[in-house]
């Protein structure tokens, strides 16, 4: 949808959507000269980490119950804290905490 609508940017609170948009190949011809930017909105528990297929660890793929049954809750939390501290974002993704930051970003965008 982002490319079909020729969007210049996407505002979303989904880390998965941010990753997918930032890493998707551009259709040709691309409707504008720059890749679609993504504003990852908010500081929510569900978007604290942007996972990549290459760096997702096996413990991160388990459900809470599976982690609990296998005694892996502490390990999973240690991994989570480490990745949150790392704060990695794909190229083209910027985290914004609220609508004020969105407005400032849009006002500063070079069209």
pLDDT band with cut points at 50, 70 and 90 for residue 27: low
SS3 for the chain, per residue?
CCCCCCCCEEEECCHHHHHHHHHCCCCCCCCCCCCCEEEEECCCHHHCCCCCCCCCCHHHHCCHHHHHHCCCHHHHHHHHHHHHHHCCCCCCEEEECCHHHHHHHHHHCCC
Read off the pTM: 0.82
pLDDT band with cut points at 50, 70 and 90 for residue 29: low
pLDDT band with cut points at 50, 70 and 90 for residue 31: low
Mean pLDDT computed over 8-30: 86
pLDDT in tens, 72-96: 999 999 999 999 999 999 999 999 9
Predicted local distance difference test score (pLDDT) of residue 98: 97
């Amino acid at each position: 949808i982002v490319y079909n609508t020729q969007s210049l940017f996407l505002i979303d609170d989904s880390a998965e959507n941010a990753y997918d948009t930032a890493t998707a190949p551009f259709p040709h011809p691309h409707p504008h000269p720059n890749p679609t930017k993504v504003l990852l909105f908010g500081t929510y528990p569900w978007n604290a980490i942007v996972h990549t297929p290459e760096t997702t660890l096996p413990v991160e793929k388990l459900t809470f119950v599976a982690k609990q049954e296998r005694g892996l809750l502490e390990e999973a939390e240690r991994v989570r804290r480490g990745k949150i501290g790392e704060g990695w974002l794909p190229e083209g993704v910027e985290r914004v905490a609220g609508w004020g930051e969105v407005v400032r970003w849009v006002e500063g965008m070079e069209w």
